[in-house]
Amino acid sequence: MHAFRRSLIALSLGLACASGFAQNDATVKVGLLSTLSGPGAGLGVDIRDGFQLAVKLSGGKFSGKAVDVIVADDQASPDVGRQTADRLVKRDKVDFMTGIVFSNVMLAVGAPTFQSKTFYISANAGPSQYAGEQCNPYFFSASYQNDNMHEAVGKVVTDKGFKKVALIAPNYPAGKDAIAGFKRFFKGEVASETYTALNQLDYGTELSKLRATKPDAVYIFLPGGMGINFIKQFVGAGLSKDITLFGPGFSGDEDVIKAVGEPMLGMFNTSQWGHDMDNAANKKFVAEFEKAYGRLPTLYAAQGYDAARLIEAAVRDSKGNLEDKAAVRKALEAAKFDSVRGAFKFNKNHFPIQDYYLRVITKDAKGRVTNRTLSPVFKAHADAYAASCKMPS
Same domain membership, residue 310 and residue 242: no
- To 10 degrees, what angle do helices 103-115 and 78-90 make? 30
Same domain membership, residue 91 and residue 130: yes
Contact 249, 223 (CB under 8 A): no
Residue 20: its pLDDT value, please? Answer: 41
* 224 within some domain: yes
Same domain membership, residue 130 and residue 33: yes
If one counts every other C-beta atom within 10 angstroms of the C-beta of residue 105, the result is 29
- b/e 188-220 (16+ beta carbons within 10 angstroms → b): beebbebebebbbeebeebbebbeeeebbbbbb
Q: Exposed, middle or buried, 284 (CB in 10 Å: 0-12/13-18/19+)? A: middle
Residue 392: its pLDDT value, please? Answer: 82
* 7 within some domain: no
* 225 within some domain: yes
Same domain membership, residue 255 and residue 373: yes
* 10 within some domain: no
Which residues are 378's β-sheet partners?
356
* 388 within some domain: no
Same domain membership, residue 245 and residue 175: yes
Same domain membership, residue 95 and residue 181: no
* 352 within some domain: no
Same domain membership, residue 109 and residue 190: no
Residue 191: its pLDDT value, please? Answer: 96
- Whole domain around residue 208: which residue ranges? 147-271+358-381
Same domain membership, residue 167 and residue 208: yes
pLDDT along the chain (393 residues), means of 10: 40 41 69 96 97 98 97 98 98 98 97 97 97 97 97 97 97 95 97 95 97 96 92 95 94 93 94 97 98 97 98 98 97 98 95 97 96 97 97 82
pLDDT in tens, 183-206: 999 999 999 999 999 999 999 999
Tell me which residue of 39, 36, 30, 47 sits closest to 125, measured CA to CA.
Answer: 47
* 153 within some domain: yes
Same domain membership, residue 260 and residue 362: yes
* 11 within some domain: no
Same domain membership, residue 172 and residue 253: yes
Residue 233: its pLDDT value, please? Answer: 96
Residue 370 per-residue DSSP state: E
Q: Report the alpha-carbon distance of residue 36 to residue 84 in Å, rounded.
A: 13
Same domain membership, residue 363 and residue 220: yes
> CATH number of the domain that 214 lies in?
3.40.50.2300
Residue 393: its pLDDT value, please? Answer: 74
Same domain membership, residue 187 and residue 97: no
Tell me which residue of 108, 133, 132, 106 sits closest to 121, measured CA to CA.
Answer: 106
Cα–Cα distances (Å) from 55 to 73, 82, 280, 308, in that order, read 19, 25, 18, 7
In total, how many domains does the chain have? 2
